[in-house]
Every structure is written in structure tokens, then in C-alpha cells.
Structure 1
């Protein structure tokens, strides 16, 4: 996301459905790695239960979902607010019964999941939504369910998105509702994000 120069002047715009849909139509998706994120690949490689109920919010082009399917996972849900993207995903995965693709707002989504994967969704949200993000994650996860993924540990020079933060901020934000099982600097980031990410595994209390 940090390499997309087209994000420079967007801070004054509403980061809603039209905003994100326009990015996919125009292909101004500088946050897109073009592959599964290496830290999430390594994390999911060690998961033994292939029937875990997995949600990927703000799923984008969903390389993580492709990888999960390849590895035999059977219960994957994707949600995104951008209609054009969702239609592409429905076409792409139309022959696979193990994946559900949802057009909708994460904050009004209902369901219960064992695992939610975070990959450039949190950083795309206006920081005023962060407490709501924590509350919705807690609502969607079963007791003992996990939120796992990547958070930026830097402040961006230009107005977001993306929006950054710090380890201390994240510990305060999640600490009341989640056990902070893993909160550490990411050693296996995608090259262009090296030194800017931390990997977290947060367990719902």
C-alpha cells in the first residue's frame, strides 16, 4: 500500500464503498503484493485443522484465499465492500464450494469464525474506527478464536490510507479483549515492507 503514489491526496475523501471500488476499477491498488503475504503463508502452513472457519475481511484480490484452498482448507469466507472486486472474485472462485464471497461492510457482518486473517485491512481504515474494529473482531470470533496477521509499525509521511501505528498503541487497543499471544517484529515480510510490519496472533478472551 505504501508504494501507491495515488493515495497522496485521498485523506479528505470518504473511505467508503465508492472510494475502494474506484481503486479496483482504475487498478490503483499499490497495496497489492501480487502473491500471498509470506508471513501469512508461513502461519497458515502450521495450521493442522483444515476445517477451521476462516474469514478474510477487506479481502482484496485474495491471494491468501487461493493459497488456503491449495492447502486443503474447506471453510473460507471473504468479505469486501467493493462490488467490482467481489464480482471478479465470484467468477474466479465459482467452481470451488469451499469458499464464500460476500459483498458487504465488515462492521455489519454476522457470523462466527475460528480464525480471522488480517492483511492490509486494519491499515486501510480511518483510525477513528479502530475501537469498532476490535469490537467487531471480538463479536465474530468464537471464544478462544484467533485474529492473526500483519500490522504496520510506522507512521506514514503522507495522509492515509494507509494508516500506521506502534506496538504500544496496538497492545493498548487489543489488550482488554484479546490475549496477546504473539506481538513481534516481522522477520519474513515481503521485501518492500521489511522493517515496517509486526506479526500478531491475538486470542479472544
Structure 2
């Protein structure tokens, strides 16, 4: 992992509340997607989860097989304090690229844009590795460039396609129509199904 974006780097950002990407709640595109999921027993992974509002929503809606992973302890501690009934063994203090296990759904929310862009091909490959046959990668990607130095790092849908095409069938890969106001027109909603399933 790029040392600049190490566990210590992210721990310091959370401890100092340098979390400008954090909107304090689940965002509309993911909430509306979760609301139409029929299978509450599926295994769900949220990598680079941060304060894990998505996991809180899922868990309280009955998705009890939800796992969250982050390299920083601070956001996991805050999440555990906020949702004390969430199983402690489903809080994973771990580097995403070293995770093991099999999941039916991986949820992407501001993790892809936080990793060094050189790791994007490995991210796509790792998601496919962690997904069960027929498993899906669902979430939001920034479809914009940023003037500031990242993270977050932006990009374009054309770039992103090159990473995911070897491993996934594209079910949805379009501009999100229900983004929160500050991100209107700058997010892609993705729903990708693992190939060979």
C-alpha cells in the first residue's frame, strides 16, 4: 500500500475529523437500491467503510450478514458505539487487498476514490475474487476530476470500464439520477455482476 495512505494516515484523518466526504448518513442511491433487495440473508461487504452509515442502515433493516472493513480503528470504534448490537466479529480492521472470504454483494461508497489510483486494477480484481458466483459489486463512483490533490481521486467512466470489464458484466453503469445535491451529475451508479456465474 502507498505509505502516504497507510492505516496511520486514515486514522489521523478520522481522529482529526478531516472527513469532508462524510455526509453523515446513507446517501439516496444506495438506500433506494437496498430497499428493493429481497434477500436479507446475503453476505454483504462494505470495504473502506469509514463511519459505515450504509452498514447501519442495512443492519437495522434486517441484513444481519453485513461485514465492514477499514484499515483505521477510529471509524470502526465510532460505528460500534453507534450500533452496539452489530456483531464485533463482523467489524474487520483489515486492508481490503488482504481480505479473505466470500460475499454476495460488495458495496462501493467512497472507497475506490480514496485508494491510490495505481491500485484500481487490483481493486477490480479483488472484488471479483471476493464475490460468490453471481455476486455483485454495487455503488457509486465519482465521474469527475478534482482540482485538488487527492484523496479523493476522480476519474471517468471510460477509464473505470477498463478496470472492470475483465471481471464483470455491466448491469448498470450510468450517471446516478438521485445523487445528493453536492454530487448531482458527478456520480456513476454501478451494478456489476461477476462474470462466469
- Normalized against structure 2, the TM-score is what? 0.94
- Normalized against structure 1, the TM-score is what? 0.90
Of 148-157 and 164-173, deviating more is 164-173
Paired residues of 2:45 and 2:68 also in contact (CA < 8 A): yes
Give the 3-state SS of the residue equivalent to 2:90 in structure 1.
strand
Pairs within 5 Å for 1:55-74: 55-74=45-64
Q: Which residue of 2 aligns with 1:139?
A: 129
Deviating beyond 4 angstroms after TM superposition, the runs of 4 or more aligned structure 1 residues are none
Pairs within 5 Å for 1:140-155: 140-155=130-145
Structure 1: 5+ residue stretches without partners? 1-11
Give the 3-state SS of the residue equivalent to 2:113 in structure 1.
helix
Paired residues of 2:44 and 2:66 also in contact (CA < 8 A): yes
Q: Which residue of 2 aligns with 1:81?
A: 71
Q: Does 1:29 align with 2:19?
A: yes
Deviations along 1:154-198, one digit per CA (max 9) or x if unpaired, are 111111111111111111211111001100011100111111101
Deviation at 1:97, TM superposition (A): 3.9
Paired residues of 1:149 and 1:199 also in contact (CA < 8 A): yes
- Report the Cα distance in structure 1 between the residues aligned to 2:104 and 2:58, rounded to whole angstroms: 15
Paired residues of 2:80 and 2:86 also in contact (CA < 8 A): no
Paired residues of 1:69 and 1:98 also in contact (CA < 8 A): no
Give the 3-state SS of the residue equivalent to 2:4 in structure 1.
coil
Give the 3-state SS of the residue equivalent to 2:68 in structure 1.
strand
Give the 3-state SS of the residue equivalent to 1:14 in structure 2.
helix
The alignment yields a C-alpha RMSD, in angstroms, of: 1.6
Q: Which residue of 2 aligns with 1:175?
A: 165
- In the alignment of these two chains, the number of paired residues is 194
Deviation at 1:85, TM superposition (A): 2.0
Deviations along 1:67-123, one digit per CA (max 9) or x if unpaired, are 112211120000000022222323333323497111010000101000000000000
Q: 2:151 aligns with which of 141, 150, 161?
A: 161
Structure 2: 5+ residue stretches without partners? none
Q: Does 1:193 align with 2:183?
A: yes
Q: Which residue of 2 aligns with 1:4?
A: none
Distance change (3 Å), C-alpha of 1:99 and 1:39 = farther
